[in-house]
């Protein structure tokens, strides 16, 4: 998708509204993971070096349209000061006379961080009046929040009606290039790996990918709905009965298209997620009172073999309850297999990113998306409001 980029803007002596995703986890007023903050730093620095002043905006948490001190962006401002090595002023609000005055007083090279956009219900309602007030703070618009691009919110969609041009930031560019490469012109063979708990969360994605991939590996809780649809007894493993017929149709569709849809052949089972340990059994041997909580070693071998020869790999969703040590081995082993592949590798989703980080192989992944929901919706072929709202490149 060809969109105007920040590199095509004349930023000298202009105030640029940068919509970022600074929704970082906090603990007692301190940022515990600054990954998303670091991701937007290059765009901020680019604008500042070009002679612009930056009006920076983001949401944080779910304050439900009301001011909630625990969701203030003050800790974000403090961490950004360290990352940018300069003062970052926090506005008293994201709109209003005082905020407008501070924005207009900015000089080249200065940064003003607006207070939490979601302190106003109008943000999530994509309210035009609220968007107009945000637009008044700057002279051009840059969206670097791909992780929120699937939301039709005022600072993402409606604002572009009042603030032009609207360009993609450096992070947005990277996301669109990496994911667009998968959908539009992937190096083949293309292998997709899907995990996570529920089939229902990824049905549209599975259907969309079947027309594009050469192989689809399915693990995690969602695999048990597919296995159950084939007649396997899977004990107390997570199964969505309403989607058994859909799973059967998906398997048939994969066969018709010549797509290798690869399912687990063994699983690590236990009484529940709080069990101190699990044991690997074949898929046909899952005890009636136990549940599958990770893929087993034979499945790891099977999935790893399926990656051989791949030139593009995309992965979303863990293979089990990897945050529990007894059920982490399968996901971590697969992370190492993906990282060790010579293919162009792309991963997305918080749990998957956490898994490759935990496995110590994050630096070996070709591209790590900052997004979860937007990552999935883009791969499903949906139009993302935050992308659609950007100005088309000439």
Q: Read off the pLDDT of each residue in 55-66 and give the average, rounded to a whole number.
A: 96
Q: Which domains does the chain have, with CATH numbers?
A: 6-173 (3.40.50.1260), 186-379 (3.40.50.1260)
> Which residues on neighbouring strands pair with residue 261, listed in sequence order?
216
Q: Which residues contact 151 (CB under 8 A, 6 or more apart)?
A: 124, 385, 386
Look at residue 1 in the predicted model and tell me its pLDDT: 56
Q: Is 129 a catalytic residue?
A: no
Q: Of residues 38, 74, 198, 236, which has the active-site annotation?
A: 198
Q: Of residues 61, 65, 109, 350, which has the active-site annotation?
A: 350
Of all residues in the chain, what percent carry a pLDDT higher than 70?
Answer: 100
Look at residue 203 in the predicted model and tell me its pLDDT: 83
Q: Could you read off the pLDDT of 18-48 as tens digits, one per residue? A: 999 999 999 999 999 898 999 999 999 999 9
Residue 308, CA atoms < 13 Å, CB-side half-sphere: 7
Q: Could you read off the pLDDT of 169-184 as tens digits, one per residue? A: 999 999 998 888 888 8
Q: Is 373 a catalytic residue?
A: yes
pTM above 0.85, yes or no: yes
Q: Of residues 309, 366, 373, 381, which has the active-site annotation?
A: 373
Calpha distance 293→174 (Å, rounded): 34
Of all residues in the chain, what percent carry a pLDDT higher than 90?
Answer: 88
Q: Is 198 a catalytic residue?
A: yes
Q: Of residues 3, 19, 36, 151, which has the active-site annotation?
A: 36
Q: Is 36 a catalytic residue?
A: yes
Calpha distance 47→42 (Å, rounded): 9
């Amino acid at each position: 998708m060809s969109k105007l980029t920040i590199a095509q803007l004349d930023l000298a002596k202009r105030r640029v509204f940068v919509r970022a995703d600074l929704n970082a986890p906090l603990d007692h007023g301190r940022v515990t993971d600054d990954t998303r903050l670091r991701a937007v730093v290059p765009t901020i620095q680019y604008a500042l070096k070009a002679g612009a002043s930056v009006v920076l905006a983001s949401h944080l948490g779910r304050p439900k349209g009301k001011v909630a001190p625990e969701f203030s962006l003050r800790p974000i401002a403090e961490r950004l000061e360290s990352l940018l090595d300069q003062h970052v002023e926090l506005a008293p609000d994201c709109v209003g006379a005082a905020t407008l005055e501070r924005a207009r007083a900015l000089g080249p090279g200065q940064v003003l961080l607006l207070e939490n956009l979601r302190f106003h219900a109008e943000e999530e309602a994509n309210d035009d009046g609220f968007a107009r007030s945000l637009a008044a703070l700057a002279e051009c618009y840059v969206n670097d929040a791909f992780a929120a691009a699937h939301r039709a919110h005022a600072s993402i969609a409606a604002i572009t009606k009042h603030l032009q041009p609207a360009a993609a930031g450096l992070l947005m560019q990277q996301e669109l290039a990496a994911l667009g490469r998968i959908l539009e012109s992937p190096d083949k063979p293309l292998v997709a790996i899907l995990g996570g708990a529920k089939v229902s969360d990824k049905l549209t994605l599975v259907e969309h990918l079947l027309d594009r991939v050469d192989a689809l590996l399915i693990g995690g809780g969602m695999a048990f709905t597919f296995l159950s649809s084939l007649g396997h007894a899977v004990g107390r493993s997570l199964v969505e009965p309403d989607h058994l017929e859909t799973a059967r149709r998906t398997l048939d569709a994969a066969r018709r298209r010549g797509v290798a849809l690869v399912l687990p052949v063994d699983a690590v089972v236990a009484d529940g997620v709080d069990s101190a340990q699990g044991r690997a059994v074949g898929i046909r041997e899952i005890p009636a009172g136990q549940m599958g909580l990770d893929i087993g070693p034979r499945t790891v071998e099977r999935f790893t073999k399926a990656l051989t020869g791949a030139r593009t790999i995309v992965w979303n969703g863990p293979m089990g309850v990897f945050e529990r040590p007894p059920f982490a081995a399968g996901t971590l082993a697969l992370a190492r297999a993906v990282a060790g592949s010579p293919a162009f590798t792309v991963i997305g989703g918080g749990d998957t990113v956490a898994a490759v980080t935990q496995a110590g192989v994050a630096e070996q992944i070709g591209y790590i998306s900052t997004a979860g929901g937007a990552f999935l919706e883009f791969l499903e072929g949906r139009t993302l409001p935050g992308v659609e709202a950007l100005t088309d490149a000439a």
